[in-house]
Structure 1
Amino acid sequence: MTKKQTWSQRFETALHPAIARFNASISFDIELIEYDITGSQAHAQMLAHTGIISPEEGEQLVTGLEQIRQEYREGKFQPGIDAEDVHFAVEKRLTEIIGDVGKKLHTARSRNDQVGTDTRLYLRGQIQQIRQYLREFQKVLLDIAEKNVETLIPGYTHLQRAQPLSLAHHLLAYLQMAQRDWERLGDVYKRVNISPLGCGALAGTTFPIDRHYTAKLLHFDSIYANSLDGVSDRDFAIEFLCAASMIMVHLSRLSEEVILWASEEFRFVTLKDSCATGSSIMPQKKNPDVPELVRGKTGRVFGHLQAMLVIMKGLPLAYNKDLQEDKEGIFDAVNTVKACLESMTILMQEGLEFRPQRLAEAVAEDFSNATDVADYLAARGVPFREAYNIVGKVVKTSIAAGKLLKDLTLQEWQQIHPAFAEDIYEAISPRQVVAARNSYGGTGFEQVKQAIIAARIQVLQQ
């Protein structure tokens, strides 16, 4: 067995095996290997560009690193715990391939700015992928909305029947949430795409490096202006986890509604077999596992955000080993958000079917048209607050009599107030109640059609 090496001549003995395992991050930061290779290639090119190493040495480093990339992709390079982390693993293998020139790669660089660079390279790519997942989710919502402009669904406040809505209008609310998520990730990207490479351990370097050169090679928009900030900043990670948490909030809200809609009490949707499971002992059941899992995984992403905030809150400048704990949360949040977006997109596209007849029955069996009765009186000169009180009494007496507003006779209406006429029945029909709400952003059919056109342009053009 090869003896574990000490860090340097400063140390007399190697790490205790248990401490070595505790200290190692290779089990999870291997996720960054290709980003580490890409960043290292840019660093090597810069070292040659500035004359810190020769052009031939630079070429050797770049070529050797590319060989490691291919070995990893082919499963031939699989570093274990002895490597400690992905950075040491790559550098060690590079030295095995090209000899002592490989030891020059770490010139003018620290693992502190190296890991910060790798993480940013990883996250900016993942942000772009998540934004594409959001776009696919939005497209599915748009497709369903276009088919259901005039399908009605009860609208709720406090989970109590409030006013009927266009189903399309309801779904477009989630599309707007997803649009904010898409835009929010774009804002986060700006602060992810700043290069810390060249900040060194914390104070920069004595070598004549060119940080702008590596930033350009790696397609960063800018570089950190302060080396202390560059190696210790994790604001971008917190912002990403916050944006990821918001995505999960929105998916979880939709999940809760789907779960309710699929229940026997609501019966607004039917779950299809491809996206539902059964019970191990109750053969009649069809369970909404997808939205339940999304709802459950939301807390997991929240936890990563909370953990990152707690990690950062007491750290003095600059780098501290605590920051090793940022990666697992980021990796898991990325994977969780992508999986949940994909699953909810599939569920909405092909895993459930709305039941228009049941929805039509639902909007016709309550008092959600009461506000329209008050509006009817207000349009005829009755002060709205007075009209509101009149209708409140009507609802109370109707409930006591076991009637809905549509069941009242014209005589009964006119006894309530002489302003009521035959057109009251049309005014309080569910379809008219929805159609009449034609204010900008409202649920009126014409407004919803315009909203779909605008959303389609927005989603397809950006």
Structure 2
Amino acid sequence: MYTKEYVEATDGVRFPGKSFQDAILEPVFDVQKQYLYRPFIKISKAHLVMLQEQQIITPDEARAIMQGLLEVETIDFESRRYDPSYEDMFFMVENALADKVGIDLAGRMHIARSRNDLDICEFRMVLREKVLEIIGLLNTFREVLLNLAAENIDTVMPAYTHTQPAQPSTLAHYLLAFHDSIARDCGRLMNAYHTINHSPIGAAAITTTGFPINRERMGELLGFDGLVENSYDCIAGCDYLTECASALMICNTNLSKFMKDVLDFCTREFNAFYLSAPYVQISSIMPQKRNPSSLEHTRPMISKAIAEANAVFTVLHNTPFGDIVDTEEQLQPHLYDSIEYTARVLKVVCAVLVTLKVNKKVLFDRAHEGFITATELCDTLVREKGLSFRLSHKVTSALVRQLIDRRMAIADITTELIDAIAADTIGQRLGISDQIIRAALDPVHFVAIRTVTGGPAPGEVRRMLAKRNAALETERAACEDCRARLRTADAALADAIAALLK
């Protein structure tokens, strides 16, 4: 029976109980050693530099502790297994340091800090790197989209509304539209980066400390843009996680919509995109098949990325505003996994889009089907004959219905046919010339005259492409500037350590 005596016999009567160790402490340690050990050491170095600069510990103490810490840094923690003698990685490292410099000196390094501010600082340092990684991949994806758009400025195709052919556009116009949604995703993730990259270190448990520490100095040495100023907010605020999760969910939702379209474009029936050989698989039984498996795999990965990011909200809603384990090691990997799935998707999609072939003729021919230039014929009747748009719409709708009923094509439209339908519907003949009709019904003409800002006309698309390429370079430079600041902080920390060791 599952009794107290049974549990005490199997779990033990001292910390940690075996079930607690197996189900929680060991998996948490695995996360710590994989992601948090290096940031922990870096934070400890910065803290030690600050303690000595603030004369909270002596130069000799700081030098001895730093030398021990540098030795501990060489330990291959990733290969270590959880040791129940220590509660977690923090105490394991502190014990390793004590072995090098003695328990008294090792204990001095923990003046004016807590696992609370240490943990949050580690989490932010890991996440900021991963966010910069995904922004970099998204910027590469944007480059791919812009290049593909530049190759297809004159690739006329149907634009779709409600999944039905609606009006002529171009592939470039379509790709630019999707690029712009991805550009906004980059902006959201960059905003998330700047939220993440504020330092909580020095908050200690939740109310700072009575020691005269310098929080700004530690933040500077660790590459943060500034402080999370309120120490309670440092520990309790978790919106840096939800902001990042939200940006990832929006990004992957956008990606999912694009992948739906791209896979449709790859179908034999649609026949617009032809994937190159490295990204298709042959059926095990049907030798003619070219399965777009590379793209198919991206769909569940996108779904997983959304699910992992959404888990952040699921875990955090209705939790206390304070120090709480809900935000800690069991939660953080959900964001890491969301970013990892997103990165895998982007790497595949970039390769596929760079190498695919566009069936421009099929798209061009399809732009002549389904009466999708009817809007321009309607507009032409307004411009040429002074009809109100509603009367013109009535005539054009009746014309299209008759063409469908009589199984006629758009090329069968003549002056006489329009006059007959106009006489029946609005009581007047319009006498519009065949030449004007032909121009109005030409998909290339339809696209060419849509020169309004944001339209598909080639000149307007070229303007948008130039603007977006320039914006991409600016945003790439901003992302690189963030990386450069982190490298500069690393160099400053190294210099401070060198000065301390002298």
Instruction: Measure how far apart 1:321 and its partner are.
Output: 1.8
Q: Secondary structure at the match of 1:205?
A: coil
Task: Spell out the pairing of 1:152-167 with structure 2 (5 A cutoff).
Answer: 152-167=156-171
Matched, 1:388 2:388: no
Contact 1:23 1:84 in 2 (8 A): no
- Most deviating of 113-122 and 101-110: 101-110
Match for 1:420: what amino acid?
A: I
Would the alpha carbon gap of residues 434 and 85 (structure 1) be closer, same or farther in structure 2, given more than 3 Å must change?
Answer: farther
Aligned counterpart for 1:29 among listed residues 9, 28, 32: 32
Would the alpha carbon gap of residues 412 and 220 (structure 1) be closer, same or farther in structure 2, given more than 3 Å must change?
Answer: same
Structure 2: how far apart are the matches of 1:214 and 1:310?
A: 33
Instruction: Measure how far apart 1:270 and its partner are.
Output: 0.7
Instruction: Measure how far apart 1:419 and its partner are.
Output: 4.3
Instruction: Measure how far apart 1:413 and its partner are.
Output: 3.0
TM-score norm. by structure 2 comes to: 0.85
- Alignment deviations for residues 95-132 of structure 1 (CA, whole Å, 9 cap, x no partner): 33333333332222111111100111111122222111
Match for 2:210: what amino acid?
A: T
Would the alpha carbon gap of residues 67 and 144 (structure 1) be closer, same or farther in structure 2, given more than 3 Å must change?
Answer: farther
Matched, 1:420 2:424: no
Would the alpha carbon gap of residues 63 and 273 (structure 1) be closer, same or farther in structure 2, given more than 3 Å must change?
Answer: farther
Q: Give the superposed CA RMSD.
A: 2.0
Q: For residue 466 of structure 2, what is the aligned residue in structure 1?
A: 453
- Most deviating of 239-248 and 414-423: 414-423
- Alignment deviations for residues 64-87 of structure 1 (CA, whole Å, 9 cap, x no partner): 434444444xxx752212265443
Q: For residue 14 of structure 1, what is the aligned residue in structure 2?
A: 15
Structure 2: how far apart are the matches of 1:354 and 1:154?
A: 14
Structure 1: how far apart are the matches of 2:67 and 2:291?
A: 54
- Alignment deviations for residues 226-254 of structure 1 (CA, whole Å, 9 cap, x no partner): 22221122100111011111221121111
Instruction: Measure how far apart 1:332 and its partner are.
Output: 0.5
Contact 1:245 1:298 in 2 (8 A): no
Match for 1:62: what amino acid?
A: M
Q: For residue 8 of structure 2, what is the aligned residue in structure 1?
A: none
Structure 2: how far apart are the matches of 1:149 and 1:234?
A: 45
Q: For residue 305 of structure 1, what is the aligned residue in structure 2?
A: 309
Contact 1:35 1:122 in 2 (8 A): yes
Structure 1: how far apart are the matches of 2:293 and 2:119?
A: 38
Structure 2: how far apart are the matches of 1:338 and 1:140?
A: 15
Q: For residue 489 of structure 2, what is the aligned residue in structure 1?
A: none
Q: For residue 263 of structure 2, what is the aligned residue in structure 1?
A: 259
* Structure 1 unaligned residues grouped into runs of 5+: 1-11
Contact 1:21 1:81 in 2 (8 A): no
Structure 1: how far apart are the matches of 2:87 and 2:257?
A: 41
Structure 1: how far apart are the matches of 2:71 and 2:391?
A: 81
Q: For residue 205 of structure 1, what is the aligned residue in structure 2?
A: 209
Q: For residue 172 of structure 1, what is the aligned residue in structure 2?
A: 176
Q: For residue 8 of structure 1, what is the aligned residue in structure 2?
A: none
Q: For residue 433 of structure 1, what is the aligned residue in structure 2?
A: 446
Q: Secondary structure at the match of 1:155?
A: strand
Aligned counterpart for 1:405 among listed residues 402, 410, 416: 410
Q: For residue 248 of structure 1, what is the aligned residue in structure 2?
A: 252
Instruction: Measure how far apart 1:283 and its partner are.
Output: 2.4
Q: Give the length in aligned residue pairs.
A: 448
Task: Spell out the pairing of 1:22-421 with structure 2 (5 A cutoff).
Answer: 22-24=23-25, 25-30=28-33, 31-72=35-76, 78-82=79-83, 85-100=88-103, 101-324=105-328, 325-350=330-355, 352-380=356-384, 381-417=386-422, 418-421=430-433
Identity between Structure 1 and Structure 2 (%): 28
Structure 1: how far apart are the matches of 2:455 and 2:88?
A: 55
Contact 2:253 2:306 in 1 (8 A): no
Structure 2: how far apart are the matches of 1:279 and 1:59?
A: 65
Structure 1: how far apart are the matches of 2:436 and 2:121?
A: 69
Instruction: Measure how far apart 1:150 and its partner are.
Output: 0.1
- Most deviating of 20-29 and 77-86: 77-86
- Most deviating of 289-298 and 184-193: 289-298
TM-score norm. by structure 1 comes to: 0.92
- Most deviating of 257-266 and 321-330: 321-330
Q: Secondary structure at the match of 2:31?
A: helix
Contact 1:29 1:327 in 2 (8 A): no
Contact 1:152 1:165 in 2 (8 A): yes
- Most deviating of 147-156 and 301-310: 301-310
Match for 2:154: what amino acid?
A: E
Contact 1:373 1:391 in 2 (8 A): yes
Q: Secondary structure at the match of 2:331?
A: helix
Structure 1: how far apart are the matches of 2:310 and 2:469?
A: 36
Match for 1:401: what amino acid?
A: R
Higher relative contact order (CA 8 A, sep 6+): 2
